Structure 1
Amino acid sequence: MDNIYPPSAAVQLGRTVLLPPRGVNNVFIVVLTSLMYDFATNLDEELDYLMGSRMTLAKGLFLGCRYIPFVLCALHIQMALSQSIEACPGLSESNILFLGILLICAECIFVQRTYTLWNYNRRVLIALSIFLLGLLCGTVILVLSCGLQLKTATFAQGCSSSSSISPHFIIVPYIFLLLLEIEVVGLTFYQVIRFYRTTRCRLLTVMTQYSVGYILAGLLFTICNIVAICFVPGDYGPVFEASQCIAQSLLVTRMQLELWKLERYPAAPTSYSNDQTELEFELPQRASVAPNSSVLAI
């Protein structure tokens, strides 16, 4: 958006945006409205979780995914109203840095949840870590490249810039992101099918408890962004990329709160561990022997 997501490589992971300022700001309004609605509708559950759980890695990632989008919105407003072009490089650097951190935090939650779902299987952790490390390295390199390009970029009012980075360079971290999310989806579906065959309970119930909808939505966002980068005429990628980062954060925070509710207010017979970062649920009604499945509950 031309401001939080301005038409510049320095701001949105990379390229010139052809959207007019009004179109960019309209996207920003939609994003901000979605953030405020999600925050308001989940405030009671969020306070319940924040006050009722101890500090863990998952909780730290949750806080990052929940509140970094508001920082990005504040940066957008400041860039839109900024009368000083000298402040644009610093604001743009901060913007792209927070976007990178937000995306990594969201993917770490998906990875940690899948690792827990597989009962802390070391092989699964190694497989997930390979693509997560590739995504991390690709994002860091892209952020640093955009930061270096800011040194020579020329900014106009509103902190827009015509500087750009090749889409072929931008696509690299997205390939790692796509591979990571495909792996997460595959590992999750394996456990869903395995549990379903054992218990013969309602498939929709199992998919809901395993948060399949959230990870599929994240995968869909990534595929749409890759298509936009490669095939959509015009450089609209930065708007889509920033929107995806924020959408990913909404998905993982909503997923975490749903799992927290499932632990605190179970709708079916459950067994709990002493560690509040885990939730174990089972559906013994449908099978004589039903395997326990651990899912990240923050």
Structure 2
Amino acid sequence: MTTFWTYDYACAIHEEWKYLHRSRWTKVKALYIMTRHLPFFLIVMYLSLNFAPNEKPNKCRILINVYSSLSQISIICSECFFMIRTYALWNNNRIVLVGLLSTAFAMAVTSVSVRFATIATSYVTTSAISGIPSCSWSSSGALYFMSFILLFVFQLGLITLTLTRAIQSWWSTKGPLQAILVKHNIFYYVCGLLLSAVNVLVPAAFPNSPYYTALENFQVCVLAILATRMHLHLWHLDQHMHNSDALIYICMSDMSPADCTV
């Protein structure tokens, strides 16, 4: 996971620097910076939990709580990009916005509550790796993965809204369906949905698997990559449309409607 994230960061650093240097400062840009760099702190902390000597279970529980908090924040930030994009694809429809915000709030509160309730009742150990008194913990079964079920349902709602908009666009333009789907960023939505499905199905199929947290951490990392990559892609599309070397105040920095990227 560390190698994967580092490789992606190295591949995108040139495009990212152009975005940070040329785009104007907005709330979305601040969200981008936060979403992009949270996985770095998560990876460092994850490695510390697994390899740094720690002989106190209470301290382990505190570190696990901090890590889980950062993980939840990272997921929320990533999903915010998909929410903003969906809202933009629906031409800033207020009903869609209210529905997205209310659903996201309910999902976030429930997911965070379930997560920390299960951590509080889980067994924390300091001997996950032989010879290294590192921190690990055992989840309390299906309740812990309720957060992934909620995330899956929320992502399914986002992809349904996006597909509906894409099909409407396809019917009105009669253009190639593949081009319409690419324009509406369906690939990014589908990847996020598949990751959530894996995190729901694997625990159900293999209830005694020791790799739950590894799958969760991978999803958190990839969701951040998908969200920021989608935003960079939209930004560069808009920049290419302007075809200018001057400082550009780009509408895609606010994830504006799909018609703006044609």
Identify whether the pair has TM-score above 0.5, normalized to the shorter chain: yes
1:105 matched to which residue of 2?
A: 77
- Residue type of the alignment partner of 2:49: M
What TM-score, normalized by structure 1, do the two folds share? 0.75
Sort the Cα spacing of 1:238 and 1:223 in 2 relative to 1 into closer, same or farther, 3 A: same
Q: Paired residues, what number? A: 249
Per the alignment, residue 161 of structure 2 pairs with 187
Residues 62-141 of structure 1: pairs in structure 2 closer than 5 A:
62-86=32-56, 87-141=59-113
C-alpha distance in 2, partners of 1:210/1:35?
25
Partner in structure 1 of residue 195 of structure 2: 221
1:75-128 alpha-carbon deviations (Å, 9 max, x no partner)? 123234422323433322221111111111111111111011111111111222
Q: 2:221 aligns with which of 238, 241, 246?
A: 246
CA contact (8 A) 1:118 1:294 kept: no
**Aligned counterparts, 1:39-58, within 5 A:** 39-58=9-28
Unaligned runs of 5+ in 1: 1-30, 282-292
Structure 1 segments (4+ residues) deviating >3 Å: 146-150, 160-163, 272-276, 278-281
> Does the alignment pair 1:33 with 2:7?
no
Alpha-carbon distance in 2 for matches of 1:275, 1:251: 16
Q: CA deviation at 1:144?
A: 2.8
The whole-number CA distance in structure 1 between the counterparts of 2:81 and 2:251 is 21
Taking structure 2 as the reference length, the TM-score comes to 0.85
SS at match of 2:144: helix
**What amino acid maps onto 1:137 in structure 2?**
V
CA contact (8 A) 2:107 2:151 kept: yes
User: Aligned equivalents of 1:38 and 1:111: distance in 2?
Assistant: 23
Where in structure 2 are the equivalents of 1:132-211 lying within 5 Å? 132-146=104-118, 148-149=120-121, 153-156=124-127, 157-167=132-142, 169-211=143-185
After TM superposition, give the deviation of residue 230 of structure 1 in Å: 1.7
**1:277: which partner in 2?**
254
Asked if residue 212 in structure 1 is aligned to residue 186 in structure 2, the reply is: yes
- Match for 1:77: what amino acid? L
Q: Which amino acid aligns with 2:179?
A: T
The Cα shift of 1:186 comes to 1.1
Q: Which amino acid aligns with 2:164?
A: Y
> CA 1:66–1:50 in structure 2 vs 1: closer, same or farther (change >3 Å)?
same
Determine if contact 1:134/1:176 at 8 Å carries over to the other structure: no
Q: 8 Å contact 2:114–2:146 — kept in the other structure?
A: no
What corresponds to 2:212 in structure 1? 237
Kindly report which structure 2 residues correspond to 1:17-28, keeping only aligned pairs within 5 A, or say none. none
Distance, in Å, in 2 between the alignment partners of 1:208 and 1:139 is 31
Residue 50 of structure 1: CA displacement?
0.9
Cα distance change, pair 278–231 in 1 and its aligned pair in 2 (3 A): closer
Amino acid at match of 1:129: L
Q: CA-to-partner distance for each residue in 1:266-294, whole Å, 9 max, x for gaps?
A: 399xxx9768424456xxxxxxxxxxx35
Tell me how far apart the structure 2 counterparts of residues 278 and 163 of structure 1 sit (CA, whole Å). 40
Kept after mapping to 1: 8 A contact 2:238/2:252: no
What amino acid is aligned across from residue 153 of structure 1 in structure 2? V
Identical amino acids, percent of aligned pairs = 27
Counterpart CA distance in 2 for 1:191 and 1:143 is: 33
Report if aligned partners of 2:29, 2:253 keep a CA contact under 8 Å in 1.
Answer: no
Larger % of helix: which? 2
1:257 to 225, 228, 232: 232
Taking the aligned partners of 2:220 and 2:92, their CA distance within structure 1 comes to 27
The structure-2 alpha-carbon separation of the partners of 1:110 and 1:274, relative to structure 1 and needing over 3 Å to count, comes to: closer
Residue 243 (structure 1) shift: 1.1
Q: Which amino acid aligns with 2:233?
A: E
Which amino acid counterpart does residue 149 of structure 2 have in structure 1? I
| Counterpart contact for 1:192–1:206, Cα < 8 Å | yes
Q: Provide the aligned C-alpha RMSD in A.
A: 2.5
